[in-house]
A = this chain, B = another copy of it.
Amino acid sequence: SAGSVVLVGAGPGDPGLLTLRALRALNEADVILHDRLVSAEVLDLARRDAERIEVGKQAGYHHTTQDGIHALLLRHAQAGRRVVRLKGGDPFVFGRGGEELEFLREQGIPYEVVPGITAAVACAAYAGVPLTHRDHAQSVRFVTAHCQSSRDTLDWTALAQERQTLAVYMGVAELGGLRARLIEHGRAPSTPFALIENGSRPDQRVITGTLANLAERAAFHAVHSPALLILGEVAALATSLAWFGQPP
């Protein structure tokens, strides 16, 4: 009989942020291809005898290539197995979920998608930052600044607009360049930020400050990946609305 693939968003790390559908998919899986960043607590919720294969990427190098992941998906689905492709966060927000579905569709493999709590939404909730508080922001924009090519082609003037919240999925190494470009394009140096390390996990840390001192604050506190940056007037609320873990 034909196998199938369920593309599942695992959320940010706290297993309590899995959806009921994600839990069911993990319970029914024969094999789980998971990113490196999916937490052990989440994997513990899978069927005991499911095969687990780590296919994650690490910053800087690829553990398994995208083509390699496609080949694994195909091989296991063609063997009639129920495959779960488990990704951190949501599969369609800076995942490669779209590419994997295009490949499966070409190959005629049936699939479903289970959305997950993406890092920006999780970190905002756990840091007390209302992303679109109507007194301060009209929109929220999710952007990544991981690779040189994306940094060079982003419309920095649009990113530097006031009254919008930016949620930046990024490595902490890029903070200096991000600050320089945003200020150069008109964002006020006094714009508040909240930088959330290990969002939703017991060791969550929230570092706050202004765009002017972003890189120095991050360096002083030795913030490491995974971290999410929220930039905009709403980030100032992290101080007054904090409820989880160490206050900033």
Contacts and interface: CB of A to CB of B under 8 A. Distances in A.
B161 A113 contact: no
Of A115, A138, A157, which is in contact with the most chain B CB atoms at under 10 Å from its CB? A115
Interface string A73-111: 000000000000000001111101111011001000011
Nearest to A115: B125
B94 A125 contact: no
> Which secondary structure dominates chain A's binding surface?
mixed
Contacts of A241: 98, 101-102, 105
**Copies of this chain, tallied across the complex:** 2
Given A105-B240, A113-B243, A114-B125, A132 B92 contact: yes
A125 B157 CA distance: 30
Contacts of A15: 20
Interface of A: 9, 11, 14-21, 23-24, 90-94, 96-99, 101-102, 105, 110-118, 121-122, 124-126, 128-134, 138-144, 150, 153-155, 157-158, 161, 163-164, 234, 237, 240-241, 243-244
Given A17-B115, A98-B234, A110-B243, 6 more contacts: A90-B121, A92-B129, A92-B132, A111-B243, A132-B144, A141-B141
